[in-house]
Chain A
Amino acid sequence: MHAYANPARFLAIARPLTPWLLGLGTALLVVGAWAGLVLVPGDYKQGETARILYVHVPSAWLGMGGWTGLAVAGLVQLVWRHPLAGIAARAIAVPGMLFTALCLATGSIWGKPTWGTWWEWDGRMTSMLILLFLYAGFIALTKGEEGGRQGWALPRGAAVYALVGAVNIPIINRSVVWWNSLHQGPSITMRGSSIDGALLWPLGLTLLGFSLLFGAIVLMRMRRIIADNRVTARLQRMADEEV
């Protein structure tokens, strides 16, 4: 794994991969959105309103997946001291928080016409809001520390924080099973899907499309961080030579 500690090796893969992720993700998203918003019929009960799930579900998935990524990066940094871990975590945090916010916003918009409320403090919504705050905390913990003496490694506290915060992920996932909630139970489980096949397939497209875009955004942010690093190092060298 440390082969990719060399930024040149990482960049050799990341650079050509980015346009592929970007292009394929956009294409899947366009087809998925068209299918979900236009082609497939509305839900038998909620009608057209249920179509927001094609954005809401991928947002929830990426918000939670993003934190899982942060936790893995935190572990990799604490145990293996891998130099890319801190870069990856910093690159993931902002888009992860963005998708969490998107999940909360689309959920709220969805809740008003179906449940009759913008917001309720039920287990699912509360735990998802906590995830948003966790992201904000992580970003605050890692801001202003980058590129310093430690390079781009996460401050130890931030790496531990990413691991501790991961405890919220299974809580979000199980919140509708453990506790009575306004939010409905899981539609897609190990036993299958209670979303009919006719409505399910566009969700697969948008889920994959959003995920690929997320990957592209993370790779671009990682490349920017590495580029920043090089500029800083070069400026430092030049300054040292002048003295």
Chain B
Amino acid sequence: MKPKHQRLVLALLALAGIAGAGILGASALRDEAAYFRTPAEVTAGKAETGEAMRLGGMVAAGSIARQADGVTIRFVATDGKASVPVEFTGIVPDLFAENSGMVADGRMRADGVFVADRILAKHDERYMPPQMGEMPKNMKLVPEE
């Protein structure tokens, strides 16, 4: 084996090792590196009452209700498998809307309502001209797991 080939084999072996380590590391981070938890994870008991966390999901159709004080809203966050009621006092981003994604910082209250201190809007990967109107039926609402 010429030294050049020896170096090539060594380099490829090292590359495979690095890639393997990277994949192992990334898969070990799977849950920890998640930016938010889904309603299904929350209802499955992965969130303790009072623990600071992020909840992400779709805002269920027809669920946004403004409360009597005028600045508090309530809505239902869903991932298609489970839903969690959310309460938030403050200003939401412009893109916050029903049938659209959102991420909320906050904590679960004992009565099962998620109380948010902050809400971010999450948009999906679709871009289209406005005249195409609302979401085509063949496009999925919730990303695949």
Q: Which residues in chain A, 175-194, are within 8 Å of chain B measured between CB atoms?
A: 178-182, 184-187, 194
In the bound complex, what is the Cα–Cα distance between A45 and B126 (angstroms)? Answer: 9
Question: Which of A168, A170, A195, A196 lies in contact with B132, CB distance below 8 A?
Answer: A196
Cβ B35 vs Cβ A196 within 8 A: no
Question: In this assembly, does A123 line the interface, its C-beta being within 8 Å of a C-beta of chain B?
Answer: yes
Contacts of B34 in A (CB 8 A): 123, 179-181
Q: Quote the shortest CB–CB distance from B87 to chain A (angstroms).
A: 18
Q: Which residues in chain B, 118-141, are within 8 Å of chain A measured between CB atoms?
A: 119-133, 139
Q: Quote the shortest CB–CB distance from B78 to chain A (angstroms).
A: 15
Question: In this assembly, does B15 line the interface, its C-beta being within 8 Å of a C-beta of chain A?
Answer: yes
In the bound complex, what is the Cα–Cα distance between A182 and B94 (angstroms)? Answer: 16
Nearest A residue to B7, CB-CB: A79
Cβ B26 vs Cβ A171 within 8 A: yes
Indicate whether A182 sits within 8 Å of B35 (C-beta atoms), given known contacts A116-B119, A170-B22.
yes
Chain A, interface size category, equals: 35 or more
Contacts of A166 in B (CB 8 A): 18
Count residues on chain B whose CB falls below 8 Å from chain A CBs: 45
Question: In this assembly, does B65 line the interface, its C-beta being within 8 Å of a C-beta of chain A?
Answer: no
- Greatest chain B CB density within 10 A among A120, A167, A196 is at A167
Q: Which residues in chain A, 195-220, are within 8 Å of chain B measured between CB atoms?
A: 195-196, 198-199
Question: In this assembly, does B33 line the interface, its C-beta being within 8 Å of a C-beta of chain A?
Answer: yes
20 contacts between A and B (CB under 8 A): A41-B130, A42-B129, A44-B127, A44-B128, A79-B8, A80-B4, A114-B93, A114-B95, A115-B120, A116-B92, A116-B120, A123-B33, A123-B34, A179-B29, A182-B56, A184-B123, A194-B139, A195-B125, A195-B126, A196-B132
A-B contact sample (11 more), CB < 8 A, given A120-B35, A196-B126, A198-B129: A43-B127, A43-B130, A44-B129, A78-B7, A113-B93, A116-B96, A122-B35, A182-B103, A184-B122, A194-B127, A196-B128
